[in-house]
Amino acid sequence: MPDARPSPILISDVQETVARELERIAPLIDDLGARFRDAGHELALVGGPVRDAMLGRLQNDLDFTTSAHPDVTEKLLKGWADALWDMGRDFGTIGCRKGEWQVEITTYRSEKYDATSRKPDVAYGDSLVGDLGRRDFTVNSMALTVPDRGFEDPFGGIVDLAARTLRTPGRPEDSFSDDPLRMMRAARFAAQLGFDVAPEVVAAMTAMAGRIEIISAERVRDELVKLICAPYPRRGLLLLVETGLASYVLPELPALALERDEHHRHKDVYEHTLIVLEQSIDQEERLGNGPDFVSRFAALMHDVGKPRTRRFEDGGVVTFHHHDVVGAKITRKRMKALRFSNDEIDAVAKLVELHLRFHGYGDGEWTDSAVRRYVRDAGDQLERLHILTRADCTTRNQRKAARLRKAYDDLEERIARLSEEEELASIRPDLDGTQIMEILGIPPGREVGEAYSFLLELRMDEGPQSEEDAKAALLAWWAARV
Ligand code: ATP
Ligand code: MG
């Protein structure tokens, strides 16, 4: 599993990595640094890119902090940058692109977070150290001044980085009072970097979890998405559940942990869910697009209907009838509350709703008609449904697992074969609306729609038909109608 604890980081390795990364960005930071210096301003690479340079995971996004105010920054970038944007101006940020580099330059800040407001109050600061002191974690509070390349690390970020630990620059309680979103960010960075969160920080998160409620759903969602799409999502999710944050932002997840029945006859649905998530991640290359949020979130939500549908039948049998349908409903509601787009909501809910369908397949008992319906109902989520259904097998019984795998291989082969023969993905009735109206001699209206549905059903049940046969069937249906 990708969650194995990474080995400790050696400072000598960090030095080497940084030297290499600096070499790569030297042309840009030297040039830009000189521009600001010549205008009498300070400029420093800060936060994520400094941390990531040390970890050897620096991408092409470079964040800087500066003593210059945004209008001055804008002037200094004009004529140098290839493109410029200022959507962040109210927050002190000017962005630009220079070659392959995305640059964001933000004026020193000394903001306080007003606990009753949803927006941070921006107040410009006057020193680099002051700016670093208001950042979330010590590993994000390091800076490299340019062009002179001075290393600024007032809170011991490099020590915490070597120990793979997330710690706040000041007291965590004060930090989380200023901005409760930082509690989510702790879990997100734990998931992204594979770091531990310092015990006093976990304690503060636990004590203050409820404060997350003042944060807008959009900001919470963005952190949750980053956490779920990270290399170690289990780490972040465990932390959210342990601290109680999940009870506010994703209550369906801790609810699964209550599902263990007294006799331990039923698997712990919570642990099962985390394994399904990891098994789904293992298959993501099928989609060929890197981390896939929809697929991962569907894995996380696929059983959320279980707590509400659990019944204890006679003889100690536990059932979860319709937990797929109920789960899809719960998923929609949660994603709506977190302000996800309708497309994302539809995709995840569809996967949750269909995740059990394959269980009727047995050893290949489905008719071609059932296979067609499966493909049609999955629509553009078919590939993800393959992933989820396969991931949903967490039995330790090797023989059972192998049998399920083989049955699913078989289903996929049948889908491929039928698709080749019939263009399954775009199943349409054998006659179109115009033909229906002509054959029945009726004008556009509800009846044409009904005839169309009838032909579509027929097409699914019987496969493609000749125009003659379809016409005969349509007329028979029409005649039998009252
Ligand atoms: P990435 O961009 O890879 O997700 P990052 O560390 O750059 O990671 P951002 O959210 O882009 O994270 O934030 C940039 C920097 O700004 C952080 O490294 C941190 O120093 C600071 N920061 C961002 N959000 C907060 C916050 N809510 N409270 C305090 N500091 C923050
Ligand atoms: Mg960033």
The pick from 52, 63, 142 for probing ligand 1's pocket by mutation, whose C-beta has the most ligand atoms within 8 angstroms, reads 63
Which pLDDT tens digit goes with each residue over 20-70? Answer: 999 999 999 999 999 999 999 999 999 999 999 999 999 999 999 999 999
pLDDT exceeds 60 at position 2? no
Between the two ends of the chain, the Cα-to-Cα distance in Å is: 61
Mean pLDDT of the chain: 91
Please give the residue that has the higher pLDDT: either 110 or 145: 145
Residue-level pLDDT at 112: 56
User: Which structure tokens are listed for 172?
Assistant: 């965590």
Residue from 383, 468, 461, 459 nearest 426 by CA: 459
Nearest Cα residue to atom 17 of ligand 1: 47
Amino acid at 217: A
Closest ligand 1 atom to residue 120 Cα is 27
Closest CA to 371 of 307, 332, 427: 427
Tokens 């599993």, located at residue: 1
pLDDT tier, 482 (very low <50, low <70, confident <90, very high otherwise): low
Q: CB within 8 A of 193, min separation 6: which ones?
A: 55, 139, 164, 166
pLDDT at 5: 58
Unique residue bearing structure tokens 């503060």 = 204
Q: What is the pLDDT of residue 251?
A: 97
pTM of the model: 0.85
Mutate to test the pocket of ligand 1, among 140, 144, 188 (most ligand atoms within 8 A of CB): 140
pLDDT tens column, 290-330: 999 999 999 999 999 998 888 888 887 888 889 999 999 99
Token pair belonging to 95:
């962005």
Nearest alpha carbon, ligand 1 atom 16: 47
Ligand 1 centroid–CA 123 distance in Å is: 17
Whether the predicted pLDDT of 116 surpasses 80: no
- Say how many Å lie between the CA of residue 286 and the centre of ligand 2: 28
Report all structural domains of the chain as residue ranges with CATH numbers, in order of start.
1-163 (3.30.460.10), 165-250 (1.10.110.30), 259-426 (1.10.3210), 433-481 (no CATH)
CA–centroid distance, residue 144 to ligand 1 (Å): 16
- Please choose from 59, 103, 136 the residue to mutate so as to test ligand 1's pocket, defined by most ligand atoms within 8 A of CB: 136
Question: What is the C-alpha separation between 299 and 390, in angstroms, rounded?
Answer: 11
**CB-based contacts of 98: which residues, under 8 Å, 6+ apart?**
28, 32, 80, 81, 82
- At 444 the pLDDT is 85
Q: Report the pocket of ligand 1 as residue ranges, CB < 6 Å.
A: 47-48, 63, 135-136, 140, 179, 181-182
Which pLDDT tens digit goes with each residue over 383-393?
999 999 999 99
